[in-house]
Chain A
Amino acid sequence: MKYVDEFRDPEKAKMLLKEINELVEQIDICKTRPLAIMEVCGGHTHSIFRYGLEGMLPKQIELIHGPGCPVCVLPMGRVDDCIALAEMPDTIFTTFGDAMRVPGSKKSLLQAKADGADVRMVYSPLDALDLARKNPDKEVVFFGLGFETTMPSTAFTVLQAKEDGIKNFSLFCNHITIIPTVKAILDSPDMQIDGFLGPGHVSMVIGIEPYEFIADHYNRPLVVAGFEPLDVLHSIWMVLKQIAEGRSEIENQYSRIVPDEGNDEALAAVAEVFELREFFEWRGLGSIDHSGVRMRKEFIDFDAERKFVVPDIKIADPKACQCGEVLKGVIKPFACKVFGKACTPETPLGALMVSSEGACAAYYQYGDPDRLRELEKGELEKGELEKGELEKGELEKA
């Protein structure tokens, strides 16, 4: 595929990996502990696993898979609210496909659908608005979800609905913002992150200026990264280069898509429709100030939370879940007590097991990169592998 294959060239990867290895040799931190780089966005997590990138990197680099999967961080209480809305009479509840499997306290949207609720998968909020036009006797609720990436399309849809005077369309707004969340991670006492890969698609909307504080106040480099495997390697190289040269700056590797100043039109639509909430609850991370948005009062007629009654009950994350620690890079997914036992992609307990962009689901599906890396170098004896299998077997039994 043109414009894609160029970013998957294994020869260029070899060159980059050689330089990455050389940089690692020059970085002092790497002599005492692995250098921790967080990819904030779930899209990067997915690429890293899909192309087996982690296994190609030197051992001195540890990738921490960040909170940037909007489906993963949705708390149980909000899913319960979705189900309450979906189960209202004469309602069509529309959602992106990924959100269907997220477990609420009693069931997921997929189960609610099986129980008879009219839950439909859409690919754009505009499809939901079309459904509202075609079904004037039904209320069509759109489950707005995602970071700044998806926020503008939701905002434009609401503006369109208002302009067209559509009365049977509303938005259940669960949009969240990335900056306060990165800040919360940086402020966390057990944080151990040396540098960041910044989210590509979020930055396409917000630009790169909002990240400045990460370089200025926390002295951590951040490189806004593209999603192809060469993009990711190149961005890691850029982070390492900064660390090796003692710099911490905000750089833009994904400049073919991300303008430094962001997208004014998208930002204007977002600002017109949404305002910051005081706080928003995240699965695995708890409540984070100013990390979510809701609709401004001018759009109250389109706000499902105010148009209808939702239970709005806060439900604590399952106690055994260690998603928060995984998100902050304190533990690896495999080290979580419930990983692969009570928590699997079929029956996810924790946020990170839900979507293919979640770190735990990626580990479960694509394998432990450390183990694959050792296998690559023939460092694992056959006996050891069998032992590993046995342990996994035991886990499954438990």
Chain B
Amino acid sequence: MNKPANINVPKPPRKRGKVSIKKVSLAHGGGGKAMRDLIDDVFVSQFDNPYLSPLEDQARFELTDLAKHGDQLAFTTDSYVVDPLFFPGGDIGKLAICGTVNDLAVGGATPLYLTCSVIIEEGVEIEMLRTIAASMAKEAASAGVKIVTGDTKVVNKGCCDKIFINTAGIGVIRTGYNLSSGNAVPGDVILVNGLLGDHGATILAARGDMALDAPIESDCASLHGLIKTILDICPDIRFIRDATRGGLATVLNEIAQASGVSIEIEEDKTPLRTEVKGFCEILGLDPLYLANEGKIVVVVPAEHADEVLSAMQGHALGTGAAAIGAVGDWDAGRVTMRTVFGGRRIVDMLVGEQLPRIC
């Protein structure tokens, strides 16, 4: 990695602050020494890199460095408010990195730089913040991205739920790619990279108010590597999207509407864990609408479907990949599913929140 412009002149390293008390107070958001100590101790020490450590009001990059990765800048933002903060398979910190990395990667971009803004409720344990920051640092390192600038705010108790994180991300799209939800044409094949609904089911179970224990883990993962693999072997891939909130059903509806095509999926080919099926069965939920944090929907021309599918299956994050359906032209904007039972039904956009049935 090239050096950023602002550190050309060597300076003596700044002495970093430390926090000695156990809980965050409003003073930590006050702009003074307490805030500086908190930022240094919790975040800078974990995210440490030459773009961040000068603590200017902005991170600075050479345009020529960016241009080495491609010819279009990709820029995205996402906020993370998950409850509970820690769940099987991940935590809010890991999620805040994966989610933004994936939002860049699905557009064909190489994710490079992330921001990290946190809004903290007073009274939160500093140690918990350290755990979250460490989780962010670990995931950022494995995704090959740097957290280069950030912000910390502390609000009164009750004004936010423990911690909210926003990460924005910059990546560069490799030359020649133009992935778009409007690209699908009849005949294209729909692929997914594995079992669906694990994240949504995990979070619902982890909230504990279902009195249901399910041996399920969130699929939370950075997918840039998998995405690069399949784009390298097939630059003609029409579109990729991560099936987060709203699940598979929502992404398929977005594609059908944007491309003016129909999509039909096969229920028996749609990969679902038995535990997730059982969980949905009991609560009256439809797994097609459950959130994922490590699953992508890929629209690929039929002639490349097999090679892309086997490339996905050969990647650690795509072992359960499957072709689940195809694009058609019989009813523009419509998504249908051939049920396991042999019938056919419409798969619509989710209305409101998915609420469990009562009987």
Contacts and interface: CB of A to CB of B under 8 A. Distances in A.
Contact of A98 (B209, B277, B356): B356
A171 interface: no
A111 B352 CA distance: 12
Given A100-B355, A146-B358, A53 B210 contact: no
Contacts of B316: none
Contacts, number: 113
A145 B358 contact: yes
Contacts of A344: 351
Interface in B336-359: 336, 339-346, 348, 351-352, 355-359
Q: Which of A127, A346, A366 has the most CB of B within 10 A?
A: A366
Q: Which of B210, B348, B351 has the most CB of A within 10 A?
A: B351
Given A46-B357, A389-B331, A367 B352 contact: no
A51 B351 contact: no
B341 A123 contact: no
Contacts of A8: 340-341
Contact of A385 (B278, B330, B346): B330
Interface residues of B, number: 31
Contacts of B357: 43, 46, 97-98, 355-357
Interface residues on A, range: 35 or more
Which label, helix, strand, loop or mixed, suits the secondary structure of the B interface? loop
Interface in B184-223: 209-211
Contacts of B281: 1, 4
B278 A1 contact: yes
Given A51-B339, A367-B346, A385-B331, A123 B356 contact: yes
B50 to A, nearest CB: 46
A160 interface: no
Contacts of B211: 123-124, 127
A99 interface: yes
A103 interface: no
A10 B340 contact: yes
12 contacts: A1-B278, A8-B340, A8-B341, A54-B343, A56-B342, A100-B355, A345-B352, A364-B348, A365-B346, A366-B345, A372-B345, A372-B346
Interface of A: 1, 4, 8, 10, 13-14, 43, 46, 49-56, 70-71, 96-101, 110, 121-124, 127, 145-147, 149-150, 201, 229, 344-346, 355-357, 364-367, 372, 375-376, 382, 385-386, 389
Interface of B: 209-211, 274, 277-278, 281, 284, 286, 329-333, 336, 339-346, 348, 351-352, 355-359
